[in-house]
Each structure stands twice: as structure tokens, then as C-alpha cells.
Amino acid sequence: MRTTDKSQERLTHAGPKAPRSLTLRAVLLGVLAVPMNVYLVIQTETVWTTQYPTTMTIIFNAVATLLFFSLLNLFLQRYVPAWQFQQGELLTIYLVVTLACVVCGHDLLQATLCVLGHSAWFATPENEWQTLFFRFIPDWLAVMDLEALTGYYDGTSDFFIDKHIRAWLKPVLCWLFFFSVLAFGMMMFSVIIRRQWIEHEKLSYPVTMLPLEMTRSGFYRPRLLWLGFSLGLGVDLLNGLNHLFPYVPALPIRHNIGSFFSEEPWNAMGATLVHLNPYAIGLGFLMPLDLSFSCWIFYLFWKLQRIGGAVVGINHIPGYPHIDMQSSGAYITLAIFGLWVTRKHLWQVMRSVFFRSSTGYDNSREPISYRAACTGLVGAILVIVVFWMQAGMSPWAIVLFFAIHGAYVLAFTRMRAELGTPTQDFYRAGPGFLLTAAFGSRAIGPQNLTGYAYFYGFTRNYRSQPMPNQLEGFKMAEQAGMNTGQLLWLMWLATVFGLLIGFITFLHAGYKYGSLGTWRGQEAFSDLQRWLLFPSQTDWTKMGFFSVGAILTSIMLISRLRLIWWPFHPLAYPLAANGNFQILWFPVFLAWLIKFLILRHGGVRTYRRALPIFLGAMLGEFLMGTIWALLGLALGHQMYSFKHW
């Protein structure tokens, strides 16, 4: 019987190598890199409303930070080899920056801070907010001091004034505590499913490929890498110069072919964007072939729904085709199915918890024992429920909301692990919208609806959730032989530290510039106003579209299990519906076509030879995008954005 190299290593050694401990210098360098990266994220996303690093599955400024230390490492290898970084150290820096940035993102901390002072500042006799819901807002949950909010919304002021700090201190500490507990609960669940997804199912985690390759020896040698790098960097350099100096010629990479379909029923498809961003083609090239194929096919499927609705005359239904409800049905189904196929692993975990590890799984290779992880998860859930009960909410409303929120996060985490999608947009379709459609706002009640309005900050979209990055961290740790037990706590502490820096940075920017992201607060409280002024019952139309999404996803899941030839992946069905994917569908299509032709005619060897071109294209655009952002920080104004969302 033949043995692999890894098998031979296990035979010749007494046991597997002990994981490498995290080094103090890597942790310190990662921590020192956090403030600048968080400042860049908040300045670009909310002050200048451009670039939006945290709306991507791979945060490009974190990649640029990793590139800086990787190039520094090449210098150290040549001139000071005793000081050179190991792969685990470089990945430690990258993960600290990534986990800190993601929770300070556009759809978590930033959106929440846009909600906290909004109701007090924008309440008027006309909108009746004060009589509708002010009595349901605890003083520790939001800022209601108009004097302290004046500088925050008018600008040209300073956050570091005693009255401003005192007004924000209690709400900020409460939200910091809540987000830290929420991230901790996600971390505990990541530990529970880590072995199933990484070791048993061996999910590919395409998003981890670029940082892993950047930290491996020989990555920067191939000429094809620098060819792709020059392409990605050159496109953004030229277009960035055109943004500053219009007489410099630009390279057009954004087009709308929907204007060619102006006659009925074809005009029902709306805008059809064709973008040619090198980074998006690179990310699409990393996706498994069947998944990239499914993505652009389902994008066309969503267009056909609109055209078909116009043909049969049902496009007059408000909200048709209710992409949010169909996607909700799909994600809930995917989460339930994911738990079902993981049931054997979860059963073994439960045996380890209740009947000692000798009758269940061996915990020795886990970051912490399953018993500790389950205890931590249950503890986090209880703390969250009690926390919001103190705000006056009903336990059932809290549990339902966070059960749905957890299902969405699980589905998106799975999507990242399998697809490596460039984005995971899910705008204005959070648990609050599903619950009010299912039960009606009247049944939920004004106190709970007010709480849902404050939940809007971290559920208005799902692009800034820490759990996908946590599992990707475990995946990279496995590849690099890092100590996952130490990494577990480092990732959580990086999250807490990032939140703290993010709160301070955002409030500083708010008092300096004024009225940052007020549309996000307006969205939250306009929804609350509508729910309270016009109490609703179950919306059967929306629930019908929810059922359509659930049924279609179930059919695809069953077909994928039973039929070997079934070509469509159910994860691509809701992904292709999101707003950001309108920009990404064509790059994903191009990447699929190129990869298909390479594998068909050149095989795996040709694919591996071509891979550096696409990794280089991503790296070049990420670096140039970061350079433009840093120049913007230095010059104090908006620069070119290589992403069009």
C-alpha cells in the first residue's frame, strides 16, 4: 500500500508536530497596525463614502498591510536572516488587522453609531417620534442629549470635550460590551463546527488563498505574478490619475448594457452592468468552477424573473420579485440544511460535553475543549437575552430575532467557506423585516419594534460579520501549523480592541465633519415609524415569496445530493440576487470561462501556472486602492475608488 508524504512523516515521527506558538512581536505589530487601518476604513467608508473595504469578503487594506510586512520579510531574509518572520507571524498580523477592521465596518459599528443619536436629533412634531417610541428607549442605549449631539451633527467640533465624552460614554460602553459578547458567541460556535468544515468536509475557503500564498516561500518569484500585478495596479493608477487630472486618459472598465434593451418586456430587467475589475476576475478565478458557473447563471435567472413578470403582468405587485424574501427563504433553508448534515458531528460534540471526551471526540487538537466552547456559547446567548431584556424587550422577541440572525450568519459563513464570493450583500433584509412580515408589527409590539430599530445597525446588511473571518483564521492556522488555542483568544481580543478604536475614531470624525451616514439612522427609524403608525398583520405576499425561495433551495439541495450531474449550487441562488453582484457577475463569468478553458485544454498543471497572474491582479489593485486611500488621508479629500459600491 502506498503512503503519502504526510503519512510517511507520521510513521517516522512519534506524533504530529506541536503547533507553533504565537510570537509576541507578531502580536504587537498587528496591534500597532490596527489604529491606522481602522482610521482608513472609517474615513473612506463614512466620511468620503468611497472604496468601502469592509464590504468585500477580503479586506484590501489588510492585504496591503500583509504585503508591506511580506516585502519587509524579503529584506530581512537577505540581510538580517535571524530576524525574519515565519509564516505564522505574518498571518498573525493579517488576522489581527482583519478581525479589528471587520467589526468597525460599514455594516456593523459604523451603521450602529449612525442610529444611536438619530432619533433624538431628528425628532419633530410632524414625525411624532417623541410620542411614538421615546418612552421605550433606555438612557444607556442611545444618546438623547441634544446639546451634546449638536456638534456631532453640525460638525466643526471636537469629541474630546468633557460633555461630549460623558454623553457618549455609557451607550458606547454598553454597545462595546454587547458586540464583544456577540463576537464571542460566534467564536465559540466556530470552534464547535471547525473540525466538520475544515477537516471532515475539507471546504476550500478560497478567500484564504491569497494571504496564505503571500506568506509562502517563493510566492514573489514568478514573472506571471508581476504581470498580473502590473495589470491590476496599472488600471487603478491610470484611472486614479484621471480622477485627479481629467486631461489624463482613463481606461473605461464600467459599462451598462441595459440601455440597449429599451423595449418591453426586456426593459423590465433594469440596469445590466458590465465591469472589468481585475481584482474581481481574480477572486472569481479562485472560486470552484461549478460555483462560479452557478453564480452567473442565477444572475440571469433573476433577470428572467423580472422579464417573465412583465410578460404575465405580475410585475405590478409591490416589491416584485421580492428578492429580499426569496433570499431570506434560501438562507434560512441553507442554515437548517447545514445543521442537519452536521448532525453527526454535533452529536459527537454533545457526547464530549456530557459523557467525557473518551466517549466522544478527542479535544486535543481543538482551540479549546468542546465543553468550554458549548459553555461559552450558552453563556453568550444568556448574556445577550438578559442584556436586551434590561432594555424592556420580551424574551421571545429577542430569541426569535437572534435565532434568525444566527441562521443568516451561518449561511454567509458557509458561503464564504465554499464559494469565496467577492461580496455577501443582503441589504435591508434582516430579521426585523422577516419577523414583521411573518407575524405583523402589531403582534410584535412597540417595545420590541423599538429594540429592532436599534438592531438595524448591525443587520441592515451582512458584509461586516466576524464569524466568517474567524473560521478563515482557523483554516489558515491549520495550513501554517499555528497554535489555534492562542489564536482563538487573540482574534477575539483583536475584535474588542478594534471596536474600541472604531468607536473613538468614528465619534472623532463625527464631531469634525458632522452628519455622517444619517441615511442609515433615517432608514431604521422610518421603518419603526411605519410599523407603529400603520400596525400590520402577516404579509402573505411576502411570505409567499419567502416560501418560493425556501422551496427552490430545498429542491436544489436534494438534487445536488441525489443527482451527480446536477450543475447548480444552491448557495449561488441568493448570492446572485444581491445588489453588489450586479457589478460582479460579469467578472465572475469571465473568470469561469477562462478557468473552464484552461482546465479543459491545459489541465491542472496549466491552471497552477496561470494562477499567479490572477493573484497578482488582485494584489496590484488592492495595493493601489490602499495607496489612493492613504493619499486621501494625507491630502484630506476623496480619491479614486476601484470598487463601484
Q: Are 120 and 142 in contact (CB under 8 A)?
A: yes
Q: Which residue has the higher pLDDT, 420 or 75?
A: 75
**Residue 625: its pLDDT value, please?**
94
The per-residue DSSP string of 564-626 comes to TT----TTHHHHTTSTTHHHHHHHHHHHHHHHHHHHHHTHHHHHHHHHHHHHHHHHHHHHHHH
pLDDT surpasses 70 at 527: yes
Residue 160, in any domain of the structure: yes
Residue 13, in any domain of the structure: no
557-576 pLDDT, tens per residue?
999 989 988 999 999 999 99
Domain count, the chain: 1
30-76 pLDDT, tens per residue?
999 999 999 999 999 999 988 899 999 999 999 999 999 999 999 99
**Residue 17: its pLDDT value, please?**
65
- Enter the C-alpha cell of residue 477: 492556522
Of the listed ranges 104-113, 347-356, 622-631, the least confidently predicted one is: 347-356
**Global pTM value:** 0.94
Residue 644, in any domain of the structure: no
286-344 pLDDT, tens per residue?
999 999 999 999 999 999 999 998 898 888 888 899 999 999 999 999 999 999 989 99
217-231 pLDDT, tens per residue?
999 999 999 999 999
228-249 pLDDT, tens per residue?
999 999 999 999 999 999 999 9
For cell 405583523, name the residue: 440
CA of 252: how far to CAs of 55, 195, 255, 625, in Å?
23, 45, 8, 17
Handedness of CA 19, 24, 30, 35 (dihedral sign): positive
Residue 11, in any domain of the structure: no
Rounded to 5°, angle at Cα 325 from 433 and 568: 145
| Band (16; pLDDT cuts 50, 70, 90) | low
Average pLDDT for residues 192-197, to the nearest whole number? Answer: 94
Helix (H, G, I), strand (E, B) or coil at 275: strand
Residue 626, in any domain of the structure: yes
Residue 20, in any domain of the structure: no
Burial of 267 (0-12, 13-18, 19+ CB in 10 A): middle
**Residue 316: its pLDDT value, please?**
83
Q: Are 45 and 52 in contact (CB under 8 A)?
A: yes
| Band (444; pLDDT cuts 50, 70, 90) | very high
**Residue 364: its pLDDT value, please?**
74
Residues 573 and 570: their CA atoms lie apart, in Å, by: 5
Residue 266, in any domain of the structure: yes
Torsion of CA 102, 104, 107, 108, to 10 degrees: 110
pLDDT surpasses 70 at 104: yes
Domain that holds residue 111: 25-635
pLDDT surpasses 80 at 497: yes
Q: Are 422 and 463 in contact (CB under 8 A)?
A: no
Residue 1, in any domain of the structure: no
446-482 pLDDT, tens per residue?
999 999 999 999 999 999 999 999 999 999 999 999 9
**Residue 357: its pLDDT value, please?**
52
Average pLDDT of the chain to the nearest whole number: 92
| Band (425; pLDDT cuts 50, 70, 90) | confident
**Residue 2: its pLDDT value, please?**
37
